[in-house]
Chains A and B, each alone.
Chain A
């Protein structure tokens, strides 16, 4: 059994008076792909933002490789090995592709940046061709690749991907999921948030279902994909 790399226990997150995340607990083991699925507004992105320190939980604990993230500043959480590729990609539209990647490597020593960038380019050839182009001129798929490449530049142990398939053509969605699997094969643990439950469950080792702030179900990818409730609610079958 692999070691638990991320352990979230009993977190409660509020937006003002709105109680968005209610007693959520889950864990991610080293080398896994774990997915959080659920409808729009269920709180999936909120969970990721809480892990990366952009939001704070009032209760419970978040532990990553032995250290607590509850009070850690977002920049130190990145330094500790968590990359968060946010919903909507949020590449820096006025910076070039290369500059975006450099920002991804902000916490890394200068010496390794060239090699890491070369690795990202060899994974995403499209980005290499466009390295000096302003990121805002890239297509949606290219921007998603840039956002993922940018995340990789911090050499993460855990990569959190928020809706990587959003707004992409089906062929690109397949490509993105292919890449996620490849990254995982190369040793990066993945926490994947998706509305495209079918795709997410097809590559995930385990999954959790989030409904209005609660985790209502969990299991292996296969278990969830074959569960009647899930099929009705999320897979349109």
Chain B
């Protein structure tokens, strides 16, 4: 029973990581950028919800504003910071991403202070729990799992079936050939950032409902963990990001359940080191440079 309980907790946390890891992986798949500002978008999303609800406006509006706000922010970052570096060396792009991350964290601190603020989790998902045998499942857990799965199914359909999704796959495979098909590269890249940010916004709300506080560095460690999840799954791979996220979530919960909760973060990074040493391409990663 304890095992089952922990399994469910692990899936809940893991599906949040998966949503965030997807944004990392998709952006990497398209322009080979590790977008370290991705985690901080989550933090901004948290503040948006918090501030709008604090202003007495309905939670539904707050959720919508969070999703739209994160998408707009990600697209602005892409246009202002990354687009001018399209033909620059990849390391310049990476350093810029880290810079954007620091920028967002410090602006948040300037605007909203360094102290953690309480996130109105119960205004979004009521604090109800269900008892099934000796198993206790909170409504938050159920909502998290359902929303995360729904978001991933929609993403899968989008990527597999829609014209934009197919173009995304084409661009990620061969950017030059995709351009020769008449695919507008800028549009696909912006679209990818937008989709990633939308998933991050959903992840942000679910994460804050589980750990109801927001501070300027909320996105930092969360972003890094999602990055580890993306690498574990095979960076660039969409199913890989989902698997990696869930694996990291389960690992964290297992470490906690065994009573070593101070080691949680360390375990995540140990996983990263092991993956990089043993199988750098992750679960689903393509072998590099397939020649056709």
- Using a CB–CB distance below 8 Å, which chain A residues touch chain B? 52-54, 73-76, 78-79, 83-84, 86, 88-95, 99, 102-104, 106-107, 136, 143, 150, 154
Whether B115 is near chain A, meaning CB under 8 Å from some CB there, is: no
In the complex, B182 has a CB within 8 A of chain A: yes
Whole-angstrom distance between the alpha carbons of A143 and B184 in the complex? 24
In contact, B170 and A95 (Cβ under 8 angstroms): yes
A91–B292 touching, CB < 8 Å: yes
Q: Is the CB of B169 within 8 A of A92?
A: yes
Contact of B170 among A76, A103, A136 (CB under 8 A): A103
Q: Which residues of A have CB within 8 Å of B177?
A: 86, 90-92
Q: Are B183 and A75 in contact (CB under 8 A)?
A: yes
Do A74 and B167 touch across chains, with their CB atoms under 8 A apart?
no
12 sampled A-B residue pairs with Cβ under 8 A: A74-B180, A75-B183, A86-B176, A90-B180, A91-B292, A92-B170, A93-B173, A94-B173, A95-B173, A102-B163, A103-B170, A154-B181
In the assembled complex, the Cα of A73 lies from the Cα of B174 at a distance in Å of 17
B90: CB under 8 A from chain A? Answer: no
Q: How far is the CB of B83 from chain A (nearest CB, A)?
A: 14
Distance A154 CA – B181 CA, assembled complex (angstroms):
8
**How far, in whole Å, are A73 and B292 apart by their CA atoms in the complex?**
27
A52 touching B167 by the CB < 8 A rule?
no
Q: A74-B182, A90-B292, A103-B170 given. 18 additional CB < 8 A pairs?
A: A52-B180, A53-B179, A54-B180, A75-B183, A76-B182, A79-B182, A89-B292, A90-B174, A92-B173, A92-B174, A92-B178, A93-B173, A95-B166, A102-B166, A103-B181, A106-B182, A136-B290, A150-B181
Cα(A11)–Cα(B159), bound, Å: 40
Report Cα–Cα, A168/B67, bound state, in Å.
Answer: 51
Give CA–CA (A95, B166) in the complex, Å: 8
Q: How far is the CB of B33 from chain A (nearest CB, A)?
A: 20
Find out whether the CB atom of A106 lies under 8 angstroms from the CB atom of B181: yes
Contact A106–B183 (Cβ < 8 Å): yes
* Complex Cα gap A90–B170 (Å): 11
CA gap between A93 and B180 in the complex, in Å: 16
Give the shortest distance, in Å, between B231 (CB) and chain A (any CB). Answer: 20
A53 to B183, CA, bound (A): 13
Inter-chain contacts of B183 with A (CB < 8 A) = 75, 103, 106
CB-contact partner of B182 in A93, A95, A107, under 8 A: A107
Q: How far is the CA of A104 from the CA of B177 in the complex (A)?
A: 10
Bound complex: CA of A147 vs CA of B174, how far in Å? 13
CB distance from A156 to the nearest CB of B (A): 10
Which residue among A76, A106, A107 has the maximum number of chain B CB atoms within 10 Å of its CB?
A106
Closest to B169 in A: A95
Contact A75 B184, beta carbon cutoff 8 Å: yes
- Least CB separation from B290: chain A residue: A93
Contact partner of B292 (CB less than 8 A), chosen from A54, A93, A99, is A93
Q: How far is the CB of A226 from chain B (nearest CB, A)?
A: 35
Point out which of B167, B176, B182 has the most chain A C-beta atoms below 10 A from its C-beta.
B182
Q: Is the CB of A136 within 8 A of B180?
A: no
In the complex, A88→B167 CA distance in Å?
Answer: 20
Shortest B48–chain A CB gap in Å is: 34
* Chain A nearest CB, measured from B179 CB (Å): 4
Let me know if B166 and A99 touch, CB within 8 A.
yes
Residues from chain B with a CB closer than 8 A to the CB of A88 are: 292
Taking the closest CB of chain B, its distance from the CB of A90, in whole angstroms, is: 4
Given contacts A92-B174, A103-B166, contact A74 B179 (CB under 8 A): yes
Q: Which residues of B contact A86 (CB under 8 A)?
A: 176-177, 180
* Cβ distance A228 to chain B, nearest Cβ, rounded Å: 37
Instruction: Tell whether, in the assembled complex, residue B181 and residue A136 are in contact, meaning their CB atoms are under 8 Å apart.
Output: no
Q: Is the CB of B292 within 8 A of A84?
A: no
Inside 8 A of A99's CB, which chain B residues have their CB? Answer: 166, 169
Is B292 within 8 A of A106, CB to CB? no
- 3 A-B pairs closest in CB distance: A78-B182, A107-B182, A90-B177
Closest B residue by C-beta to A77: B182
List of B residues within 8 angstroms of A90 by Cβ: 174, 176-177, 180, 292
Question: Cα distance A91–B173 when bound, in Å?
Answer: 9
Q: How far is the CA of A88 from the CA of B174 in the complex (A)?
A: 12
| B182 in contact with A154 (CB, 8 Å) | yes
C-alpha spacing A173/B184, complex, angstroms = 33
- Separation of A136 and B291 alpha carbons in the complex (Å): 9
Q: How far is the CB of A104 from chain B (nearest CB, A)?
A: 6
Give Cα distance in the complex from A84 to B174, angstroms. 14
Let me know if A54 and B170 touch, CB within 8 A: no
Q: Mark B163-199, 1 if CB is under 8 A from A, else 0.
A: 1001101100110111111111100000000000000
